[in-house]
Structure 1
Amino acid sequence: MCQHQPPCPTADSADREAARLTAHHPEQGWSLLCNGVLLFEDTGELLPDGQIIAPHRPLQAGRVVRAA
């Protein structure tokens, strides 16, 4: 488990992305956080239990999105 002080947020926490990096591979588009979360460049996540968190990039300010 996390040895950092203060401890990193767990994978179940809402602020799980605040955990420290243990591996960073920008050329492949992913990073491994101390809490076991795989964080992808597109802001998607894969939790240690296999749960997928869809990308959650905010829309650009002033951009209009319409359904077809």
Structure 2
Amino acid sequence: MCTHTPHCPSASSPAAEAARVVASHPEQGWSLLCNGVLLFEDTGELLPDGRVIAPRRLTAV
């Protein structure tokens, strides 16, 4: 999906969240990255192949 240079990390890369935002809807709590990842404000992700990455919540110490 990424057409700019340098190319963004792929959706399967550990750095996938570093891709550019192509659509942002903060009122709905999500952004679409150019690698096809849907990034949610709770840090959860939906990958282009349909896999779900659970939110990464910090625990209180």
Measured against the shorter chain, the TM-score band is over 0.9
Quote the Cα distance in structure 2 between the aligned partners of 1:41 and 1:27: 10
Q: Please say if 1:16 is aligned against 2:16.
A: yes
1:28 correspondence with 2:28: yes
Segments of structure 2 that go 5 or more residues without pairing to the other structure are none
Give the greater-gyration-radius structure (CA): 1
Could you tell me how far 1:2 is from its partner in structure 2?
Answer: 0.8
Q: For this pair of structures, how many residues does the alignment match? A: 61
RMSD in angstroms over aligned alpha carbons? 1.0
- Give the TM-score taking structure 1 as reference length: 0.84
Structure with greater contact order relative to length (CA < 8 Å, sep ≥ 6):
2
Looking at structure 2, the residues matched to 21 and 2 of structure 1 have their Cα atoms a distance apart, in angstroms, of 11
1:40 is aligned to 40
TM-score, length of structure 2 as denominator length: 0.93
Post-superposition Cα deviations, 1:14-51, rounded to whole Å, max 9, x if no partner, equal: 00000000000000000000000000000000000000
Deviating 4+ runs (over 6 angstroms):
none
Matched residues, percent identical?
Answer: 72
Could you list the runs of 5+ residues in structure 1 that have no partner in the other structure? none
